[in-house]
Structure 1
Amino acid sequence: MTFNKMTLMTAALTVVLLAGCASGNRINNTAGRATVYEDARSPGKVQGVGVESQDIMAVTDQMMRDMMSNPQLVGREVAPRIIIDSEYFTNESSSRINKNMLTDRLRINLNRAANGRLVFVGREYANMVEKERELKRRGVVDGGTIRATAATAGADFRLVGRITSLDAMDMSSQEKSRYHQITFELIDLELGTYVWSGMYEFKKSAQDDIIYR
């Protein structure tokens, strides 16, 4: 084989190798599937046996209606003060869920529906309120436009509750079922008695390979 022919073959092989490397490093810019908005009140395409959006909306809607129909809460001459947050609302179930999604939605919808018949105390923001009150008392800022009070609002009732579950699995088919029980109750913060109780239950079964975050 002549020198020139060998040189040409080597050059051609180099070009092929370089082209292969370049194609291997090329980024695939093919467009993916477009985002799809789903109805949060209905089961979505991705679902398992955990607590999902339709469950959160259904349970909080039911609890709101139940509370608004209770004369001990909405039939008083003076609107009662209520704390609704997740401080004493526990998740003892095998489902992973942000408890605030339940308590926040319940409080916000109640506040809208009550129209002044219930007053909600933001106890989780007590430190923020105290800092502002201290600035006013020291004269760092003015007193605002509403009022000055000797103390912040005390509450009459506070939400407590828990999420529990019972799981079962068919070992042959690997199908799983989960029963959820979600309880909500209001405690009288002077007497320690229950003034209202509500419960929501549901059961699901699926080939559960869904990860909830």
Structure 2
Amino acid sequence: MKNIVKCSLALVVLQLAGCGSTSNESTNVYKSSIYNDPAKVDSNVVQGIGIESQDILAMTDYIMGSIMAEGRIVDRSTAARVVLDSKYFINESSSRINKNLLTDRLRIQLNSKASDKLVFVGREYIAMIEKERALKRTGTTDAGTIRTTSATAGADFRLTGRISSLDAVNSDTQQTSRYHQIIFELYDLELGTVAWNGIYEFKKTAQDNVIYR
């Protein structure tokens, strides 16, 4: 009789344990990621007053169109050589932003749209290029399949820019308005003059409780 009681109690414990594990599993159901259109404002996505994906896409598309319409840059008999990276792109705003998101997308978009009118010169990896050139010229490696040159490509223009902002806080509603002004300029690398410039502006109002990383 005692053995029967013990077995019954053990069975009850096992059943309870099984129910407990089922409950935990049901609360830890895996949910797949949701893809959002980076070009559109979505009410289901976290939104703040900083520079966000739709701003980056709209901004770079607008600036690309402005550069493509500048005859002094794109309508030359020989394609202009341009350095387009974030080295001289300054962020003085209240917004946290990876500047490469702007310059990389702008360079790639321009390269695909104006490949026969603009040549992009890489300065970020100049040490890598010079190292390989040295290996070829000392005979450590052969010359490869691309022609040799006396020097690396010089540039005609370089992109510079500045991100600025102005904040206003409503103490009653605890909302913040932020005005962004983003300046893009292409400098003539011989004369030092501004060959082209463009501006992109926008203003947002919201509770400033979104953290950008």
**TM-score range for the pair, normalised by the shorter chain length:** 0.7 to 0.9
Q: Which residue of 1 aligns with 2:4?
A: none
Q: Which runs of 5+ in 2 are unaligned?
A: 1-8
Distance 2:60 2:106 in 1: 5
User: Normalising to structure 2: TM-score of the pair?
Assistant: 0.87
Q: Which residue of 1 aligns with 2:138?
A: 138
Change (3 A) 1:157 1:28: same
Shift of 1:31: 1.4
Instruction: Give the one of 13, 34, 41 matched to 1:43.
Output: 41
Distance 1:64 1:90 in 2: 19
Change (3 A) 1:27 1:133: farther
Distance 1:201 1:43 in 2: 17
Within-5 A mapping of 1:92-171: 92-171=92-171
Q: Which residue of 2 aligns with 1:180?
A: 180
Q: Which amino acid aligns with 1:42?
A: K
Number of residue equivalences: 206
For residues 29-54 of structure 1, give each alpha carbon's deviation from its aligned partner in whole angstroms, at most 9, with x where no partner exists. 62143211011101233310000000
User: Where does structure 1 differ by over 2 angstroms across 4 or more consecutive aligned residues?
Assistant: 26-29
Q: Which amino acid aligns with 1:103?
A: T
- Compute the RMSD of aligned alpha carbons: 2.6
For residues 31-88 of structure 1, give each alpha carbon's deviation from its aligned partner in whole angstroms, at most 9, with x where no partner exists. 1432110111012333100000000000100010110111001111111100000000
Q: Which amino acid aligns with 1:86?
A: S
Q: Which runs of 5+ in 1 are unaligned?
A: 1-11
Distance 1:28 1:68 in 2: 56
For residues 81-108 of structure 1, give each alpha carbon's deviation from its aligned partner in whole angstroms, at most 9, with x where no partner exists. 0000000001100001100000000000
SS at match of 1:180: strand
